[in-house]
Chains A and B, each alone.
Chain A
Amino acid sequence: MAVDAFSVRDCALVAIATGLRARSLREFRDALQRVPQESVYYHFWGRLLRPRFDDTEFHNDFATWARYSLHDERLSERLAVIDPADFSDIEALRADVLEVVEQCLDETDNLLARRDRQFHFRRCQTVVFDTGVRLQEPAALAQAIPAMSLGSIYYHVIDARRREPVRTDDFRIWLGQFGGSFESLAEKFAAVDPYFANLASLRVELSAIVTDHFSGARE
């Protein structure tokens, strides 16, 4: 059976204020129950495509706020350890965050941030477009990935997990169409944890995997 070419696509995000904000942990809990799913998604994943300083310690906006605005280290650590890739959908992820927050509210007084350190819930608007680049063979990934924009990396690795029923990246889905021929390459992609990298380093890591695969251990 002929395998479809891999269509390299790209995306761009722009953030939008939801108008919901929280100064105390109780307000945060109440707002988190009401914000659209897009907002929860944005604060875990969308942040990768927005202007920010790479924080190597906290990987979602909720944990960052708990640490630097509420000054509660335990809460921030509990929130930081939540990996959105572990959840089947956004509602399950939201429920887990709420559980951590409820637990904290049971254990401590209501935490309060300074007036100018409120949490602002945001969502994003995403535009997806075709780059016109088509890859016929997996070996072409070695040249294609380093040239991809960070938006393309985001689309094929991060966005794909929400888009595709199997919750994996687009590269592995495509490689799977070649039968077992590129199983080991797909496994190497599977070992990459996108949650703990920024997009530029993710691009470097994926490029190195493909280059290494095709220069040495050809199957």
Chain B
Amino acid sequence: MSGMLGEYARVAGADVIRQLRLLAEPMRGLRVVHVNSTRLGGGVAEILAKLVPLTSELGLEASWEVVEGSPGFYQCTKLFHNALQGQQAHVPASLIAEYERVSEVNAERLRVALDTADVVFIHDPQPAALLRHFPRRRGKWIWRCHIDASHPHRPVWAYLRSLVGPYDASVFSLADFAQMLPHPSYLIPPSIDPLSAKNAELSAEQVAACCARFGIDRMRPLVVQVSRFDRFKDPVGVVAAFRLARSFIPGLQLVLAGGGAADDPEGEAVLREVEAAAEGDPDIHVLLLPADADEVINALQRAADVVMQKSLKEGFGLTVTEALWKSKPVIGGNTGGIRLQVVDHQTGFLVSSPEGAALRLRHLLHDRRRSAEMGRAGREHVHQNFLITRQLREYLTLMLGLVRGAADRIDLG
């Protein structure tokens, strides 16, 4: 087996890749287009960067388009994002108007690609308004929601529902996130790419060099949280947990590493709050990383003794998946997709407060044998369930289901 699929066979198993080929065979030549709002930064862009070429290698004609926005457009979609996650958000009519104007401009730019596609995946709210501009579309359109939309701010959801209701299907990461919509809502958790720069194996020297670069002492324990500077990720809560735990574990170090994303205008404000919380503490390293710092993130996660993802709200939490893949026990906020990955007392601990996080951090740094067991269980959990090959299989199954009439059981003979 050669090409990209051959490389994945070595990690996921040859049987897994053979199955993908068979599943894709009836869809050879099918035109599939993914649309999101950024090529760099965030889990969606990361996964599309591999999902699209892998789909092509299976014989489908896959492509990836990005909507282009204005500052007003992104302000609006950030409010949508927050509102979907339950935050009270008032979206001014002027921002809605800008969102709709930009959507129309993007629709014209993407008209040929989307009008002729057999299957279109629209990711998250940013490109959601495109559908209404394609009355002559010939394909199936699917809204892929990566956000925990279990308890959305209702006025904003009412508007978004009017945009996504007419799609042929939607995809949510978990059943808890799904909203009632007048079409089938598929449930497909996301995944990580084990061969990406963020997850590939690194040498001990590479990890050591990264730590030296940021002044991290390899002789002392290290806890790491990697996430955007976003209030829902609770970076200030992580600083509080770290301080509580350090009174029992002298020498403990914390890294809060986050990248900005082109579609997240709030990040800077949150970063300033975190820097203020960490001010004057030489053992708290707040790192604003560029979008292409994948190898640095990889090294930091590998250098960690414990990885934290203390989110208050979380779509799925791919940083948790990445950490588990690196055999690290994870202390995760008891929310969203983190629950699917951090199996309490098996692959890490679920917590609901800085105090809980501090207690579990002490536990894991004290009981290294247990910590290692959890790390091993976590890696196997990801290997079985959260690699990109599993997500690709489910996308192929969904596409077959939709193009073949959405019956409960489809027998290809």
Contacts and interface: CB of A to CB of B under 8 A. Distances in A.
B349 to A, nearest CB: 14
Interface stretch (B214-222, B239-247, B287-295, B391-399): B391-399
Given A14-B394, A14-B397, A116-B150, A127 B412 contact: yes
Given A15-B186, A51-B385, A116-B335, A127 B172 contact: no
A17 to B, nearest CB: 4
Interface size bracket, B side: 35 or more
B340 A51 contact: yes
Nearest to A163: B409
A143 interface: no
A16 B184 contact: yes
A21 to B, nearest CB: 8
B187 interface: yes
Given A17-B172, A116-B150, A123 B408 contact: yes
Residue of B26, B178, B413 with highest tally of chain A CB at under 10 A: B178
B48 interface: no
B397 A125 contact: yes
Interface stretch (B11-19, B107-115, B117-125, B130-138): B11-19
A130 B413 contact: yes
A71 to B, nearest CB: 14
B385 A52 contact: yes
Contacts of A183: none
Contacts of A16: 184-187
Interface residues of A, number: 33
Contacts of B175: 15, 17, 21, 120, 122
A118 B397 contact: no
Contacts of B413: 129-130
Nearest to A14: B397
Interface in A114-133: 116, 118, 120, 122-132
A53 B343 contact: yes
Contacts of B188: 14-15
Given A53-B381, A125-B406, A125-B410, A17 B19 contact: no
A147 interface: yes
B276 interface: no
A85 interface: no
Given A126-B410, A127-B412, A147-B14, 5 more contacts: A17-B185, A17-B187, A53-B385, A125-B398, A129-B411
